[in-house]
Structure 1
Amino acid sequence: MKLKLLYCFIFLLVQFTASATDVIDLKGKVVDAKTNEPLAGATVSIPDLRLAVATNLNGEFTFRSIPQRGRFVVQVQYVSYKSLTQTIDLSSQAPLVFALQPSVIEAHEVVITGTPITAGSKYNSTSATVVTKDQLQGSSTNLIDALAKQVPGMSQITTSQAISKPVIRGLSYNRVVTLNDGVKQQGQQWGDEHGIEMDQFSAGRVEVLRGAASLQYGSDALGGVINVIDPPTPAEGNIAGEVLTNYSTNNGLSNTSVMLSGNENGFVWRGRGSYQNAYSYNTPAGRVINSGFNQTNASGMLGVNKPWGYSHLNFSYYKNNIGFLDAEPGDPLYNTSTSRTLDFPRQDIRHYKVALNNNFLFGSSSLKLDLGFQKNQRRELEETTTPNLFFDMNTYSLDAKYYLPESNGWHPVIGVSSALSHSVNLGEELLIPAYDEFSIGAFVYLKKAWDKNTFSAGARYDFISNKGKAQNNAEGEPIFTGFDNRFSNVSGALGFTHIFNDDLSFKANAGTAFRAPNPAELGSNGVHEGTTRYEIGDPNLSPERSYQADATLEYGSGFVTGSFGIYENYIHNYIYASNTNKEQTTVVGEDGQSRSYDTYRYGQVNANLYGFEGNLTLHPVSFIHFENTFSYTHAQNETFDRPLALIPAGVLHNTLRFEPKVKRIKDFYFYAGIDNFFRQGRVDETFETAAGGYTLLNAGIGATFNIGKQPLKLYVSGTNLTNKAYYDALSRLRPGRFSQEDPTFGIYNMGRNITFGVYIPFGTNR
């Protein structure tokens, strides 16, 4: 209740003190740098004001009624031209003219907003990749699946087709933070088969930040951050919308999403509805029994964009039903059924979210304030619609960053964040105790740019309290003994960038980070049905502490673009669950039958992870692109001198892409690609088996047609075209993961899949 009152007080105080600022209509023009001809249809955006507008036939654009004072990053993008990122001072009366250079490189320089200060990627020391909305469309079953196929250093832990957990540089679970609407997504990240409760079609773009980010986000950002950013609101007086739908042949997956947004006199709004439905996916051995899913998403936004900044109220509802295979060694794994009716066991997941995003401008300073409420409900249904396991969690969160005026080139930021979670068990079976978690942290950050250099530094203090409740069974025997843990930490980070010239730049980071043990690691004691294992926590676990460094070299010219990065992350007190000595626990079910489960206990070791990642694209001519991405992580359990478990295999993606100019057709392309996943022999042999390497063939084609003035995008994409039978190294259903009793008992990943898609954007541009 105190936290709720604090939220209300801060909001009312800021609304009262946010003074009206003189406004201007910001006008400008986008032209070709060589010919000075206007570029119609170029996109001009101001991320910190959440505004975007397209240029008219004369290359002109107008942002109406925006603040007269302040410095903001502006990004200009146009097909076949190099993206331009520039910081402008709104108090200057000089006319804005953005001259774009013709180039086969369109997005070598992008804006990054998920760091303390919004800046172009060249001026940001964090290794980051931006995935656009167009890139999120294709043969993927969820948001993380789409990202893992395109971002160097990122992979996924999968359970069947519907559940993907992000892995960045070998780290996953509570070590990767996912943001949406400026708020940390809070679900059940600790679980092996718990995915991200998010609509993949709602994102305007996604930033994947690789490397520790505890400075801004506190605990859990040891590995990186996935920042999901909503589409910007249209410029004043405009309406924008989209309709997209696609169908996949392998699993009958049908996706449909409709969005409409507008801006009238500074009142902004957006609404979206999405639906997915798939039956059991097909492998070269047959369809995996009961592996279908269906997902419903509804979201909206109401807000105001005014001279003092903006205030947006976002709300969303997410529902996902996922079928699971329940089989013992010797049972059938595959059939031919294409029924969309889910059998038992299955999951019923619901996530409710409300977020209030604000950016208040005070002359040369500003305050970003994000308030959030989330309700996560996860039901696991074994035989009936009455849940056996039922986690119900409410989370309140606050994140505030105050940007002080620039002084002698220094840009200071101070921030505070806090969260309160309350989780209860509503099911008959128990795995983790009911708990309350409270966290609060504060940080200071400084950034200075001079000549072609940028330096940043910061420090943060965090306090976290975890209280698990004791509980006995009907016979009075203890199920959970309870815990009451308090953790505190001081972390820091340094960053540096140097731009050698327009084509070559360098960035580096070093710092410390931490992660507090989560309630599952501290207090688990029960059968986790989704993983078919018995889990036991340890209330005496210590926080993980990370010491990390990375460096990246980026290059972009007319013929070659690419980057190469190296990193090391030493983690003291690394927490993970393992099954050693083939320990088993026998449980008597409600039917009186006994069943033995592999016993996984949470413990701690010292771990060292290092590796490299990068991309290289060759442009021999303007319409041919040979794209290559690669990554490798070497992870060692230093305590026991053996490999660390659950580490992705090395991967090399090669794609040859053609974009010839075709009359009366826009943005025509076709591609062919090869995904090479190498053997992962570095496994913890006490409970994990090696995974073989494999190669997949992919291809696709697409174009945009104009029906009158209405664009219509059509595309076809295919994955695993040779119908290769394979097991991914991070699939939880591969041999040795699904059953320790029979290491040959496993389920193949998806076979051949072809997706047909349609995308229709529409709107006004006044």
Structure 2
Amino acid sequence: MIRHIILILCLVIAVFTYSPAMANSITSISGRVTDKQTGAPIQGANVGISSLKLGATTNNNGEYTLTNVPKAKLLIDVSRMGYKTLTQLVDLTTTSTADFQLEISVIEADEVVVTGSPILGKNSKNSTTIETVTKKDLTQSGATNIIDALKSVPGVSQITTGGAISKPVIRGMGYNRIVTLSNDVKQEGQQWGDEHGIEIDQYSASKVEVLRGPASLFYGSDALGGVINIIDPTVPANGNFSGQFASNYSTNNGLTANNLQFQGNTNGIVYRLNGTYKNAMSFKTPTERVYNSAFNEDDLSGMVGFNKSWGFAHLTYSRFNTKIGLTEGERDNAGNFVDVDGNPVSESDLKSRSMFLPFQHITHQKLTLNSNVNLGKGFLKTTASFQNNQRRELEDSSTDPATYFYLNTYSIDSKYYFEEINGWAPVFGISGTIQNNSNKGEEALIPAYDMYTGGAFAYVKKAWNEFTLDAGIRYDARKLNAKQEYQFNSFNNSFSNISGSVGMTWQLADKLGLKANVGRGFRAPNIAELSADGVHEGTFRYEKGNVNLKQETSLQFDAALNWEGKYVSSSLNGYYNFINDYIYYQNINNEQIDVNGQLYPVYSYVQGNSALRGLEFSLDIHPVDHLHFENSIAYTRGTNNETNTNLPFIPQAKLINTVRYDFEGRKDASISKIFVSAGFETSFKQAKVDPFETTSNGYSVLNSTIGATLRSASGKELLSLYVAGRNLTNTNYIDHLSRFKEIGIAGTARTITFGISVPFSHQH
């Protein structure tokens, strides 16, 4: 099916590419970017058209040119570090030039966001709460994976299994309640599992947008709690070529990570290639090195496509491949780690980069065709994708997996954007997914199944000078057919529901803005919740599903108040989320089961009407341009309203305080962009826990980063260097959402990461 869809779309693209009728609609846009106060040209500013995935960088004179763009009204965003991001609607039917003036600002606020609404626009005009994490923040965080790099975003936490596996949690919700998008495609990789990470290369992203709150209107089931949108880089302007080599080394587990990427544009034929390799031995806590927590990873992705006057079409292939050791925490009487045969492990085993039993081997492949075509007076944006996820879990043999999940997912998503009429911008969309999962191992935790999902939505947005209103409605249906095999009986379940939202933004004053949103979402139970029956390697428990579970429905009220001043900026977000038939698992009455002579606690899936509420507050004080004192706090509380008990796996309240100073230097200096930062991450005691959970103590860790950029005599960036330290005080702690908490393994000890990035480019 997906091959036929891709073939048809490629034929359509070829027709558009060589159609003489389209030639009359082609144009270009050029201009200058200057400092508003001084009038001086700004070199290195990014001028982009996000809807076309096209961008350019200004030269020494502040000049830019974008070719092969349609004659239409397009939203252009201009950004440069140290300046306020500028977003402007330009009508290319009447002009081919546009000059921009940027204002100096220590806050690069109000950037264009693509998440939370099908319509591109300023973040301040989006009624949902969205945080943007830049590529620089992702790279210099010292994180071991892309989700780990997002943990400083207020309201975002992670369920961890050592340093290699992180699952996102937004406002207390994770697993199948969070949609992870990559290249506009919903990532499908058995995300129901505790120790199933996100199979996406952290170096492939140009930025990440995090939507906190229900997003079922745009993404259907599974977006009940929020969205993490991993966004690819825009392609350069015609005749340009760019790329970078990045490398880092971490002292704690000897992690080496190397990445090479480059991209170009030749007469509208665009391309990109990205490759990453990581390798690490077992990590250290403040008291020990954790046996069998090593991992390695190799990733490769490539894109080829067209950027023409009719729009764009990009065909992308990616392959993510990793092996991850699974620590079971078995020890001898002296408290030392032992291997699967009960033998004490040696120092060389602890420092080995090889995988010992048990371990995971996961391969995720994805083929995606993204297109955006001018059609009538509007345009049609379509994403067709095929994903193959192979998850092997090896327990007794390094070649024959005990469990082997083989998942294929075919999906298509299409949206039509109508011409804006009197400020009203309507969008209609449809989507469909076919998914089939088979078991190829000796045993199975879930049955093989086929799943069919379809949905359609309508959305409209209206903007006035100081006020924006948006609303939408969506219908989804899902059918799941489980097969009879292993210990499972067959069953068929169907789910359907209506989602919707109404939101507004209001600029109350020059510096004060208000956002509010009411959203209704839903989530169908996943296959594990319905049918799990067995011990999942690395989870330390026996899981038992319930085929009679109902779908979850939610009603969330969300509001945010934002202040953007010259010396102080702040944001206060509050939310209250009613969730009917909320699904979670419990160890009821300390039930246990004997499996091959070993006792495991039995965790059964239950549900009840529940509520999640909380707040996020951030405060950035910058008394002088180059000094930042950044502070944020996030708090979430979850309760089962029927039993008046606390929900499990609610993250600890977290306070982050960071001081950062950017040293001012001459623009022609050989060493520039020097910065230093230091901050505390404080997680408070979590005592409001489900009856089967244990409480978690509070803790604080000290982090710090220093970096600089080296330039040539002509001002060209040669390389960037940074050193990032995490847990510099070597605090001995266990996070409430660490899965190693159950076996008494602490968090990562002091880690120093050394990194280098070498950019290269050629401009026509």
TM-score by length of 2: 0.95
* 1:173-198 deviation line (CA, Å, top 9, x unaligned): 00000001111000011000000000
Say if 2:434 is the partner of 1:432.
no
Tell me the equivalent position of 1:591. none
Of residues 719, 725, 731 in structure 2, which corresponds to 1:724?
Answer: 731
Asked if the contact 2:327–2:538 (Cα under 8 Å) also holds between the matched residues in 1, the reply is no
Say if 2:299 is the partner of 1:294.
no
* 1:707 shift after superposition: 3.6
Aligned counterparts of 1:4 and 1:362: Cα–Cα separation in 2: 23
* 1:602 shift after superposition: 1.1
Tell me the equivalent position of 2:436. 422
Asked if the contact 1:108–1:556 (Cα under 8 Å) also holds between the matched residues in 2, the reply is no
Q: In the superposition, relative to structure 1, how do residues 160 and 240 fare at CA in structure 2: closer, same or farther (>3 Å)? A: same
Asked if the contact 2:116–2:215 (Cα under 8 Å) also holds between the matched residues in 1, the reply is no
Say if 2:649 is the partner of 1:646.
yes
Tell me the equivalent position of 1:185. 187
Of residues 656, 659, 671 in structure 2, which corresponds to 1:656?
Answer: 659
Of residues 751, 754, 757 in structure 1, which corresponds to 2:752?
Answer: 754
Instruction: Describe how 1:444-593 pairs up with structure 2 within 5 A.
Output: 444-472=458-486, 479-588=487-596
Q: Aligned letter for 2:118?
A: P
Aligned counterparts of 1:356 and 1:6: Cα–Cα separation in 2: 9
Asked if the contact 1:7–1:398 (Cα under 8 Å) also holds between the matched residues in 2, the reply is no
Tell me the equivalent position of 2:412. 398
Q: Percent identity?
A: 48
Say if 2:367 is the partner of 1:367.
no
SS in 2 for 1:471: coil
Deviates more, 1:6-15 or 1:347-356: 6-15
Tell me the equivalent position of 2:340. none
Unaligned 5+ runs, structure 1: 473-478, 589-593, 739-745
SS in 2 for 1:20: helix
Say if 2:382 is the partner of 1:376.
no
Say if 2:256 is the partner of 1:249.
no
Asked if the contact 1:112–1:120 (Cα under 8 Å) also holds between the matched residues in 2, the reply is no
Aligned counterparts of 1:529 and 1:196: Cα–Cα separation in 2: 18
Q: Aligned letter for 1:747?
A: I
Deviates more, 1:194-203 or 1:704-713: 704-713
* 1:710 shift after superposition: 4.2
Of residues 684, 706, 712 in structure 2, which corresponds to 1:701?
Answer: 706
Aligned counterparts of 1:333 and 1:206: Cα–Cα separation in 2: 41
Tell me the equivalent position of 1:672. 678
Q: Aligned letter for 1:701?
A: I
Tell me the equivalent position of 2:223. 221
Aligned counterparts of 1:236 and 1:301: Cα–Cα separation in 2: 16
Aligned counterparts of 1:147 and 1:566: Cα–Cα separation in 2: 20
Q: In the superposition, relative to structure 1, how do residues 598 and 278 fare at CA in structure 2: closer, same or farther (>3 Å)? A: same
* 1:250-285 deviation line (CA, Å, top 9, x unaligned): 110111000011100000000011011111111111
Q: Aligned letter for 2:754?
A: F
Tell me the equivalent position of 2:604. 601
Q: In the superposition, relative to structure 1, how do residues 654 and 116 fare at CA in structure 2: closer, same or farther (>3 Å)? A: same
Asked if the contact 1:327–1:333 (Cα under 8 Å) also holds between the matched residues in 2, the reply is no
* 1:10 shift after superposition: 6.0
Aligned counterparts of 1:707 and 1:290: Cα–Cα separation in 2: 45
Tell me the equivalent position of 2:67. 64
Tell me the equivalent position of 2:722. 715
Asked if the contact 1:289–1:333 (Cα under 8 Å) also holds between the matched residues in 2, the reply is no
Say if 2:422 is the partner of 1:412.
no
* 1:450-493 deviation line (CA, Å, top 9, x unaligned): 12111000000000001111125xxxxxx111210011101111
Asked if the contact 2:657–2:679 (Cα under 8 Å) also holds between the matched residues in 1, the reply is yes
Deviates more, 1:79-88 or 1:192-201: 79-88
Aligned counterparts of 1:635 and 1:113: Cα–Cα separation in 2: 26
Asked if the contact 2:672–2:710 (Cα under 8 Å) also holds between the matched residues in 1, the reply is yes
* 1:362 shift after superposition: 2.6
Tell me the equivalent position of 1:764. 762
Asked if the contact 1:75–1:111 (Cα under 8 Å) also holds between the matched residues in 2, the reply is no
SS in 2 for 1:73: strand
Q: Aligned letter for 1:43?
A: N
Q: In the superposition, relative to structure 1, how do residues 733 and 540 fare at CA in structure 2: closer, same or farther (>3 Å)? A: same
* 1:508 shift after superposition: 0.8
* 1:12 shift after superposition: 4.7
Unaligned 5+ runs, structure 2: 338-345
Instruction: Describe how 1:6-17 pairs up with structure 2 within 5 A.
Output: 8-9=7-8, 12=11
Q: In the superposition, relative to structure 1, how do residues 8 and 95 fare at CA in structure 2: closer, same or farther (>3 Å)? A: closer
Aligned counterparts of 1:760 and 1:10: Cα–Cα separation in 2: 37
Aligned counterparts of 2:464 and 2:575: Cα–Cα separation in 1: 26
* 1:140-183 deviation line (CA, Å, top 9, x unaligned): 110000011x2111010001111000000100000000001111
* 1:711 shift after superposition: 2.2
Asked if the contact 1:261–1:270 (Cα under 8 Å) also holds between the matched residues in 2, the reply is yes
SS in 1 for 2:148: helix
Of residues 77, 80, 87 in structure 2, which corresponds to 1:78?
Answer: 80
Q: In the superposition, relative to structure 1, how do residues 113 and 647 fare at CA in structure 2: closer, same or farther (>3 Å)? A: closer
Tell me the equivalent position of 1:358. 371
Asked if the contact 2:213–2:226 (Cα under 8 Å) also holds between the matched residues in 1, the reply is yes
SS in 2 for 1:297: strand
SS in 2 for 1:520: helix
Tell me the equivalent position of 2:342. none
* 1:577 shift after superposition: 1.4
SS in 2 for 1:122: helix
Q: In the superposition, relative to structure 1, how do residues 419 and 266 fare at CA in structure 2: closer, same or farther (>3 Å)? A: same
Aligned counterparts of 1:690 and 1:297: Cα–Cα separation in 2: 38
* 1:640 shift after superposition: 1.3
Asked if the contact 1:199–1:297 (Cα under 8 Å) also holds between the matched residues in 2, the reply is yes
SS in 2 for 1:282: coil
Q: Aligned letter for 1:359?
A: N
Aligned counterparts of 1:580 and 1:58: Cα–Cα separation in 2: 69
SS in 2 for 1:74: strand
| Alignment RMSD (CA, Å) | 1.6
Aligned counterparts of 1:11 and 1:272: Cα–Cα separation in 2: 23
Q: In the superposition, relative to structure 1, how do residues 333 and 426 fare at CA in structure 2: closer, same or farther (>3 Å)? A: farther
Name the count of aligned residue pairs: 742
SS in 1 for 2:739: coil
Tell me the equivalent position of 1:743. none
* 1:328 shift after superposition: 3.9
* 1:428 shift after superposition: 0.3
Q: Aligned letter for 1:244?
A: A
Asked if the contact 1:482–1:523 (Cα under 8 Å) also holds between the matched residues in 2, the reply is no
* 1:405 shift after superposition: 1.2
Q: Aligned letter for 2:86?
A: L
Deviates more, 1:194-203 or 1:572-581: 572-581
TM-score by length of 1: 0.95
Asked if the contact 1:250–1:281 (Cα under 8 Å) also holds between the matched residues in 2, the reply is yes
Q: In the superposition, relative to structure 1, how do residues 5 and 41 fare at CA in structure 2: closer, same or farther (>3 Å)? A: closer
Of residues 161, 164, 167 in structure 2, which corresponds to 1:162?
Answer: 164
Say if 2:56 is the partner of 1:53.
yes
* 1:5 shift after superposition: 4.4
Asked if the contact 1:47–1:113 (Cα under 8 Å) also holds between the matched residues in 2, the reply is no
Q: In the superposition, relative to structure 1, how do residues 363 and 238 fare at CA in structure 2: closer, same or farther (>3 Å)? A: farther
* 1:447 shift after superposition: 0.5
